[in-house]
Copies of this chain bind each other. A is one copy, B any other.
Amino acid sequence: MKSYAVGIDLGGTNIKAGLVDSIGKIVLKKSIETCAEQGYKRVIERMAGLVLELVRTMGEEVKGVGIGTPGLVDAERGVVIELPNLKGWTNVPVCGEIRKLTGYRCFLGNDANNMAFGESTVGAAKGKRNIVCITLGTGVGGGIIIDGKVYQGSTGVAGEVGHTIIDMNGPECNCGGRGCLERYVGNKYISEYAVKVVKKFRGKSKIVDAAGGDVNRITPEAVYRAAKAGDMTAKKILRDIGRLIGIGLVSVVNILNPEMVVIGGGVANAGELLFRGVRDGLMERGMKGIVKSVRVVKAKLGNDAGIIGSAMLAMRG
């Protein structure tokens, strides 16, 4: 008999939810507006409504509901501590409310952690016990799986792989530190680096075409589209960025000796050129006895990683 769980990706704009089976396949998906301005009670009611709707539509019972959201959560108690994108969400007992409204057990986690859990259960690191996940985007997020479970840390905020220092004398980071990995490979900084490199070569690069002809509007996506079209400058940029990611991963890998590093988020789509850079940086700078055994792979669950990972929390919980 098949079993199912509902996974919810709670964002500032949309609530995305899916009915997911035990091997991580989404069999039914729906997205509604968050309507955050109506307050957290209403948002929770909307989530509960979505859960019941999915269950009713499918006509299948579910093992529970998993919710993932960017921000600070107390996973153990199922309470949102604070969400950067949703005002007024301070110490909100989401899981208790969802349980009351739907009758289902509810599990809560930080979105990066849930994604890592998804990758470790039904994704690129399926069956691996100790892995590190890193998500490349505006910010650089992370999730740590230890012994098959999400590692939350002592106050629930572990896994900030993007704020590994790579240069203590480097530029200031949003977090208040200096020279963190995110400060080099967050989307904005990849763009800045690409603009600099392209300008150095007097703007002659397919990257500029891919950016609509304006060198100042280069995005990471423009870089990897140009790289795929064979542009040498774009290839160099991807290798450089990959190498920085690899160097950033050295500290995490030397400390945690994971079986696998899973890289997700938009920039991971840049493909093998980026990944080769990552592996080079890691092998060149990491402890030989540790880095030789770690595999670096691309995340598998893509845009639905949040829904699937959250559902897996409920499935395995």
Contacts and interface: CB of A to CB of B under 8 A. Distances in A.
Interface string A93-132: 0000000000000000000000000000000000001100
Given A165-B166, A166-B165, A289 B157 contact: yes
Contact of A255 (B129, B164, B289, B294): B164
Interface in A262-287: 284-287
Complex copy number for this chain: 2
Nearest to A149: B147
Contacts of A167: 167-169, 179
Interface in A178-199: 178-179
Contacts of A287: 157, 160, 163, 175-177
Interface string A126-157: 00011000000000001010100001111111
A257 B153 contact: yes
B259 A154 contact: yes
Nearest to A161: B255
A116 to B, nearest CB: 13
Nearest to A166: B168
A285 B169 CA distance: 11
A22 interface: no
A interface majority secondary structure: loop
Contacts of A142: 255
A255 B290 contact: no
A216 interface: no
Cβ-closest 4 pairs across A and B: A153-B257, A158-B257, A177-B285, A154-B259
Interface of A: 72, 129-130, 142, 144, 146, 151-161, 163-169, 175-179, 247, 250-252, 254-259, 284-290, 293-294
Given A154-B259, A159-B255, 17 more contacts: A72-B289, A153-B256, A153-B258, A154-B294, A157-B257, A160-B254, A160-B257, A160-B287, A163-B250, A167-B169, A169-B169, A175-B288, A177-B285, A177-B286, A251-B251, A252-B255, A255-B256
